[in-house]
Structure 1
């Protein structure tokens, strides 16, 4: 099996494990009365399974993205680009409102 596929499977398993821990914490602390809703409903187990699965998809994607970004190498030396040809300097410009007479002459 290619190394990239192994890394993907490993990170998906980690992401789903994090999702399981996250859903367990949600239920344990009864966030938004979630535990009471799950226990009182006949579809509570299905709701928990869907909650875990949907969070698992999100956390697996984040985990794999993090793993891929962590593989980047830090460049040595200059990073390229164009050098700055000049420095920015502030320019003072007068800003004044037109007088009442000027507004009347323009028809406003």
Structure 2
């Protein structure tokens, strides 16, 4: 059997088992009154089957997705958080300033808008 088919089947089965366990625990602990709703109705077995089936399908798909994403090529660390540039500094440039030679009253507008 090819490696990818084996990966697909094993991860789907593992996820389906987790989904069934999760659905059974939901009913066993009567979360949101599910056990009462399922056992009080004559067609409750259909709801129980659907709960188990769809949770198994959901968990199987998620497990397979996780398995595929973990197959990515290694060798480099994935990025985490912001990049910090510690070796970068601002260049030092000499600039001639002429601001001190002007009259301060001419630079600021007066309070009347003139």
Structure 1 length-normalised TM: 0.66
- Are residues 34 and 73 of structure 1, via their aligned partners in 2, closer, same or farther at CA, if it must alter by over 3 Å? same
Aligned to 2:20: 20
Residue of structure 1 in register with 2:50 after alignment: 50
Runs (5+) with no aligned partner, structure 1: 78-86, 90-108
What RMSD, in angstroms, separates the aligned Cα atoms of the two structures? 2.9
Which structure has greater helix proportion? Answer: 1
- What is aligned with 1:69? 69
- Output the TM-score relative to the length of structure 2: 0.63
The 2-side partners of 1:35 and 1:72 are apart by 42
Partners of 2:15 and 2:3 in 1: CA distance: 18
Provide structure 2 residue ranges, at least 5 long, that are not aligned to the other structure.
78-87, 91-114
Pair member with larger Rg: 2
